[in-house]
Amino acid sequence: MEQARGALPSRAEIPAEYRWKLEDLYPSAEEWEQDLKTVETLAAEFAGYQGRIGESAATLRAALALRDRLGRLMDKTFVYAKMHRDEDNTNPHGQAMVERAQALLTRVGEMTAFFLPELMAVPQTALDAYLQAEPVLAQYRHFLADLIRRKQHILSPEEERILALSSELAGSGENIFTMLNNADLEFPAVHDEEGREVPLTHGRYLRFLESKERTVRQEAFLALHRTYHRYRNTLAAALNAGVKSNVFYARARRYPSALVASLDDDNIKEDVYNSLIDGVHAALPAFQQYFQQKQAMLGLAEMHPYDLYVSPVADFELKISYEEAKAVVKTGLRLLGGEYAALLDKAFTEGWIDVYENKGKTSGAYAWGCYDSHPYILMNYQGTANDLFTLAHELGHALHSYLSNRAQPYINAQYPIFLAEIASTVNEVLLVLHLIETAQNQREKVYYLHHFLEHFRGTVFRQTMFAEFEKLIHQQVEQGEALTAEWLEDEYFRLAQFYHGPGVVLDPELKAEWSRIPHFFYNFYVYKYATGFCAAVAFVQRFRAEGQKAVEAYLELLRSGGSDYPLALLARAGVDLSTPQPISEAMAMFRQLLPEFTL
């Protein structure tokens, strides 16, 4: 099935084979309801351990096991509710399910808030003795060591209870943005290449930006950004709420800044964040040279933001059905071996993937799931090259989760986001190199080279610009200033000018771009795209130089989940992101590709 242009289909009109199987999580709503009740029961049972956590090795073992059981069931109920809503954000039943699941998480957080402070109060000598006495506790060794490391940031039981009570409010900014962005925001119709009026949607926007017709690109760009601009004050208020939430929790936990607090979750120093920005700044001359080359290839007198995405190869464009995309992905990732290929087959045939856009469906793409389910992937497949690579990207996340969940106990299975973007980007880099190397002629090769260079632009340069903007907006709030729409527009535009240089004419409508980026609500998430890309390039270079040995080290990294700190796991697999080297090597590859980028 390839979607026709025009009005979006309803959820029911999408064939079942292109919808994920949420029934694998819960065959019926009644079973979800029952698990909500079970979560309440388990939370009450866990609350019975208050005041007893450190009394003996057996008590600690039992409390941790119950905590895991409770966590697994909370994950399962929330994941199901959220994905059910994502199928159609206009469905009030799905909205209500998410609200109920979030409210339950808050109540459970309040009931269990005593645990970490109590565990922190157990003397180190006692913990060591318990680990010796109860071999089953060995799986919690990293968890316990990390808690001790962060001991100064764990508050008293009463303070932790208050923070838990506030957690539902903390997501208000993001929730407001999500509902406005996915359910209420409506874009005007625009004209396609044949001059027909077509509704502009999130899923179609990128396709329009990749159009060979400049008027199509320009009209879509202006229509989308002017729509966001009309809601700039509401969106600024939502973002202000999100940033204030991050700052509040950082200060409550005695961190010097929201950035330091966010990085500390992964035991990463601020130098890693700043080193990324510095490394990308050093490569901006090459970045701006790329725009100059592309402008010349496109034959444009001026380069505008709506010209950045289009391929300079006028007579080659990849249009690929979903069925064809599955086969190309499998071939492109064959270097990862037979086990990985078998898991790709499971993903394609066992209801992991929700493929096509429908009315009310959450925009974009993601991979998710829980410890007790197979992974799930949300797509809005349109048949473009970008969709092909997005499929490979999300499969990287999904198979990372699958391997980790089956190799690690629950306490260690959840890998940090810092590692997540490596697994997804390795897949994209392998796929694009395969397509470059098997291109039938120079024009096809340049088409895929353009995609790879665009990957650098979008994942390293653009995400680092976002990371720099995110640092600025948090500093603004930390200094007691407000994030007004005018300030956000001016700062974002200034940063965009610095990155793109004088060779790109930035339309004033670009000032609204900050307001449509959901990742600004994710508490310093975006820099991990850029570091992940650079690490992925390093891994792929190792695969090609060292063969199976490097592939096995990488797969072992995927199986390691969160069993150690991300920088330590990466170093064990052969890539050291605590140094600037992977960033420098990735930027060097970008420079090396530029001379090949010519027709």
Q: Domains of the chain: which residue ranges?
A: 22-170
The dihedral sign for the CA sequence 540, 546, 551, 557: negative
Cα(213)–Cα(196) distance, rounded to whole angstroms? 13
Compute mean pLDDT per 10 residues along the chain, 599 residues long, and list them: 68 96 96 97 97 96 98 98 95 94 94 92 93 95 92 88 87 92 92 95 90 96 97 96 96 97 95 95 97 96 96 88 97 96 97 96 94 97 92 97 98 93 94 94 94 94 98 98 96 98 97 96 93 94 92 98 96 92 91 93
CA distance 246 to 522: 9
**CB neighbour burial string for 121-146, b if at least 16 within 10 angstroms, e if fewer:** ebeeeebeebbeebeebebbebebeb
**pLDDT tens across 405-446, in order?**
999 999 999 998 889 889 999 999 999 999 999 999 999 999
Helix (H) / strand (E) element for 86: namely helix 57-87
Rounded-to-integer distance, Cα 214 and Cα 211, Å: 7
Residues sharing a CB contact under 8 Å with residue 174, sequence separation 6 or more, in sequence order: 238, 242, 518, 521
Q: What are residue 189's DSSP bridge partners?
A: 199
Cα–Cα distance for residue pair 218/210, rounded to 1 Å: 11
pLDDT at residue 141, as a whole number: 95
Catalytic (active site) residue 394: yes
Rounded to 5 degrees, what angle do the CA atoms 305, 308, 311 make? 150
At 6 the pLDDT is: 65
245 in Cβ contact with 173 (< 8 Å): yes
Residue 317's nearest CA partner among 450, 449, 447 is: 447
Token representation of residue 477: 């709030």
Q: How many CB atoms lie within 10 A of CB 285?
A: 11
Smallest CA-to-CA distance from 307 within 500, 587, 520 is with 500
- Enumerate the H helices of 379-461 as residue ranges: 385-407, 410-413, 417-437, 442-455
DSSP 526-594: THHHHHHHHHHHHHHHHHHHHTHHHHHHHHHHHHTTTSS-HHHHHHHHT--TTSSHHHHHHHHHHHHHG
In terms of C-beta density within 10 A (0-12 exposed, 13-18 middle, 19 or more buried), how is residue 452 classed?
A: buried
* Non-local CB neighbours of 368 within 8 Å, separated by 6+ positions: 79, 82, 83, 375, 376, 378
CB 542 within 8 A of CB 574: yes
Place of tokens 């037979």: 338
Angle at 425 between CA 422 and CA 427, to 5 degrees: 115
Which residue out of 110, 394, 478, 513 is catalytically annotated? 394
Residues sharing a CB contact under 8 Å with residue 345, sequence separation 6 or more, in sequence order: 330
Length in residues, the chain:
599
111/164 Cα distance (integer angstroms):
9
State residue 1's pLDDT score: 56
Domain 22-170: which CATH class? mainly alpha
| Contact call for residues 364 and 340 (beta carbons, < 8 A) | no
Secondary structure of residue 149 in the 3-state scheme = helix
